[in-house]
Amino acid sequence: MVLSSLADDAAVRAVYLGPDGVTNGISSPTFAVDTSTERSGFKLPRI
């Protein structure tokens, strides 16, 4: 399980989708709970 609460869209993208991000280091089955304050409607992809 991954639980995050980040400040903005850029932080969410970096933590989840960056080169050292969560999506590059997790194994299945894993789920993420994100309580960030981002507002752009950005959605994490299903992996």
Q: Could you tell me which residue, 47 or 25, shows the higher pLDDT?
A: 25
Q: What is the pLDDT of residue 12?
A: 86
Asked if residue 46 is part of any domain, the answer here is no
Contacts of 23 (CB under 8 A, 6+ apart): 16, 17, 44, 45, 47
Domain count, the chain: 1
Domain membership of residue 30 as a residue range? 2-34
* pTM listed for this prediction: 0.69
Element (H, E) at 3: strand 2-4
Asked if residue 43 is part of any domain, the answer here is no
Asked if residue 23 is part of any domain, the answer here is yes
Asked if residue 39 is part of any domain, the answer here is no
Q: Which residue has tokens 């752009």? A: 40
Asked if residue 45 is part of any domain, the answer here is no
Q: What is the pLDDT of residue 38?
A: 67
- What does the alpha-carbon distance between residue 34 and residue 31 come to, in Å, rounded to a whole number? 10
Asked if residue 6 is part of any domain, the answer here is yes
pLDDT in tens, 1-46: 889 998 888 888 899 889 988 888 787 788 888 888 766 676 766 6
Q: What is the pLDDT of residue 5?
A: 92
